[in-house]
Amino acid sequence: MAEEQQSPSVSKKSRPRNLVGSLAVVVIAITGWFIWQQLADAQRAHPLHARGPGPAPSAPNFDMSHATIPVDKVMRGGPPKDGIPALTDAKFATVAEAHFMNDDDRVIGVAIGNEAKAYPHKILDYHEAVNDRVGGQDITATYCPLCDSSTVFDRQFGGQVHEFGISGLLFNSNVLLYDRAKTGPESLWSQMASAAVTSAKSGQALRRLPLEVTSWKDWKTRYPQTLVLSTDTGHQRNYSGGAYGNYFSSPRLMFPVEPLDNRLPPKTPVLGITSGTTHRAYSLASFENTPGGTFGDQLDGRQLTLSYSPEHRSLRITSADEGLEWTYSFWFAWSAFYPETDIYQPQ
C-alpha cells in the first residue's frame, strides 16, 4: 500500500512549468517540420526525378576554361545534365486543339513574320528550353522557373544553327544552358546574361528576340491562328499545373544569389530592358493601381512603347527601337545580373 501511495518526485508547483516547456518543444518541432516540409516540397517540385523515354542523361563534358563567372559559385541544381530535357522538334496544337490550356495559364508569346507560337510556363517548368523555328527564324525559347525568367534567343550565329540543352548547373539560381556541340567539350551559356560563360566562346552574346509573357486568353485572342506547345512531348510529366507552387508562394530562394538588391522584394516580377550597358526594370506591381493602357519611354536614347493590362497581368512592349532587348524575370535575378539597373517609376 505504501508503494501505491508514493507520489512522483516532481512537485505540483513544477508541473505547469514542465507543461509550458513541453508545449514549447512541440511548437518548435512543428515549426521546424513545417519549414523542412516547405523546402522538401520545393525540392521535390524541381522537375527532377522522373525522366522521359530514351537513354539516360550523359555525363557532363563541359569546357570550363576562360570562365567569365566564378566557377566556385556554379552549383548543381539537382537534376543531372539533360535530366531536365530540352525539347527539339516539338509538337504544337492549334487553338481549337488546345484543350489542355486554361485561359489564365501564363505563356511566352513569340510572333515573327506571319507566324505566332505560345510556350506555356506549365510545360516549360519541366523542359526549360525549346529549340524551335518561328516565321523562318531559328529560336530557343527558354524559361527558368527558379528565376521566373523568360527569354527567347536567336540560335543561329557563327554561320550555323545551334541547339541548346539544360546542363543541370546554376549560377545565381539561374539556369546554365549548354551548346550541344557535335565534337569536343560543350560550352555553358547563361540565360540571364544571354552569353557564353565558359570555353573559348566566353563572352559571345546571344541575341534576344522580342517576346511577351501574358495569359493564354490574351495571346489567343490577339493571335487566333497561333500554335501552342503541346503536352505530347514524349515525356511522362504532369502538365496540368505549375510544378513550383510552394516556391512561388514563398519569399525564400532555393539557392544563394549575390548581390541581393533590396530595393524591391526578391520575387517581384519585372520586365527588364537593356540597351548596351544601360538597364531598366519595370515592376509589374507598380502598375497594379493604374487603369492600364499604353505609355512611352526611352532608354539610352532609344524609344519604346509599352502596354499594361491589369486583366491579364501583363506588361508588353508593342514597339521598340533597334538595339533594345528584354527579359521577364524575378527582381532578384535581374538585379543580380544587372546590378546597375534603375527602376521605372510610373507617372
pLDDT tens-digit map of 161-192: 999 999 999 999 999 999 997 767 899 999 99
pLDDT bucket at 243, cuts 50 / 70 / 90: confident
Residue with the larger pLDDT of the pair 213 and 53: 213
Kindly tell me the sign of the dihedral angle through the C-alpha atoms of 106, 130, 143, 52. positive
pLDDT bucket at 254, cuts 50 / 70 / 90: very high
pLDDT at residue number 18:
53
Q: Helix (H, G, I), strand (E, B), or coil: what is residue 282?
A: strand
- Closest-CA residue to 134 (of 206, 57, 211): 211
Average pLDDT over residues 236-255: 89
Average pLDDT over residues 72-98: 96
pLDDT tens digits, one per residue of 7-53: 344 344 444 445 444 444 444 444 344 333 433 443 444 444 333 33
pLDDT at residue number 63:
92
**pLDDT surpassing 80 at residue 294:** yes
**DSSP label at residue 285:** G
Average pLDDT over residues 292-321: 96
Contacts of 323 (CB under 8 A, 6+ apart): 275, 276, 300, 302
Q: How far is CA 98 from each of CA 92, 147, 256, rounded to the nearest angstrom?
A: 9, 27, 38
pLDDT at residue number 158:
87
pLDDT at residue number 61:
78
Write down the mean pLDDT value for the chain. Answer: 86
The C-alpha cell of 259 is what?
Answer: 548581390
How far apart are alpha carbons 332 and 97 in whole angstroms?
A: 37
Among 10-19, 148-157, 252-261, the least confident range: 10-19
